[in-house]
Amino acid sequence: MDPGDIELPDSLVRNAFNLQAGPAWKHSWQETARQHLLRWELVLDLPSGAKPWTGACAVVLPVVCSDGVPAVLKITIPHDEALPEPDALTLWDGQGAVALLESSKDQYVLLLERLDGDASLFDVPLEETAGIWGSLMRQLSIPPGAGPLWKDIPSVAEQAEQWTDTMPADWESLGRPFDRWLLEYALEVCQVHGAVGRRSNRDVLVHSDLHYLNILPRLDGHRTFTAIDPKPVVGDAEFALAPMLWNRIHDLSPGDPSGHLRERCSDLAFAAGLDAMLARDWSVVREVANALWYVRDGMPEDAHRSLWVASSLLRRTLPNLPSVSDLLRP
């Protein structure tokens, strides 16, 4: 099969047109794939008619290397969050994260070890996931260095400083879409743990999108779970916990979903050796920021989910939100 025979799913095409470089990428990715198949001596390993794996912003093609080793060729729509991905993967060196075999950073193309793309931590019973996630976090949380691989990785503290300016302005311009107290709580966390209150001696490399579908088993016979698709930042390890809370909320106990959510936050933090209160607070901040982004982009149902998570973590679930069973799945 030639890359020209592969059709992208509609969801990836839509996402492409929401990114500045997306339209050009849509018309060039197949040629980019051909170039790298030749450059790295790869054979496309996709049966005729089969669909490739895709993420929100990338197509992932199964390939075989010249030495017979199975791998995948990841071709990402160029965008800022994806730029430091190969640097982070190089720093992790296959410890807790998928191994990077080759990289064309300027073209956003990576050759990665092949994992089981048809399985993920999402398939594991919820009560068994905290230990797996915590073990990965302990491997991934490496202290920062001064080498060139660190220069493109943004910091949590800088993001927090930006949020202290943008969140109040967005909240006002969007018509004050939720209670002020929740905004003020998020702002206080940003102020305390931003550049001023930052615990720089505890900074680590953080996979900020470490959720169930980004944790896949290796093809090593042991089904060792491994992280993929990092959105790396440097800062508090606790910043990583939020995506594990806003995914799989429909698996929470129907009798007390908000209580179960808080229990999950504590269990995940304990499994990873994190400060549970700081993990909760960063999760609140990230969900408040998400809610504002969703409101701005006309996605009220997604905003409701974020607001439910943020306010429930603080034991003050906002009124007039849908029940957990009616919240939109991520």
pLDDT tens-digit readout, 140-166: 999 999 899 999 999 999 999 999 999
Mean pLDDT across the chain: 94
Q: What mean pLDDT is predicted for residues 231-246?
A: 97
What pLDDT shows up at residue 270?
Answer: 98
Percent of the chain's residues with pLDDT above 90:
85
Q: What mean pLDDT is predicted for residues 257-265?
A: 98
What pLDDT shows up at residue 199?
Answer: 64
Q: What mean pLDDT is predicted for residues 291-316?
A: 97
What pLDDT shows up at residue 106?
Answer: 93
**Is the model's pLDDT at 194 over the cut of 80?**
no
**Terminal Cα distance for the chain, rounded:** 33
CA distance 96 to 84: 17
What pLDDT shows up at residue 146?
Answer: 86
Instruction: Give how far the C-alpha of residue 276 lies from the chain's centroid of Cα atoms, to the nearest Å.
Output: 20
This prediction has a pTM of 0.94
User: Residue 167: pLDDT band by 50, 70, 90 thresholds?
Assistant: very high
What pLDDT shows up at residue 243?
Answer: 97
The full set of domains in the chain, from first to last, is 3-113 (3.30.200.20), 121-326 (3.90.1200.10)
User: Residue 196: pLDDT band by 50, 70, 90 thresholds?
Assistant: low
Contacts (Cβ under 8 Å, ≥6 apart) of 278: 193, 236, 238
**Is the model's pLDDT at 1 over the cut of 80?**
no
What pLDDT shows up at residue 4?
Answer: 80
CA distance 104 to 122: 30
Q: What angle, 0 to 180 degrees and rounded to 10, lies between the N-to-C axes of helices 300-313 and 257-272?
A: 70
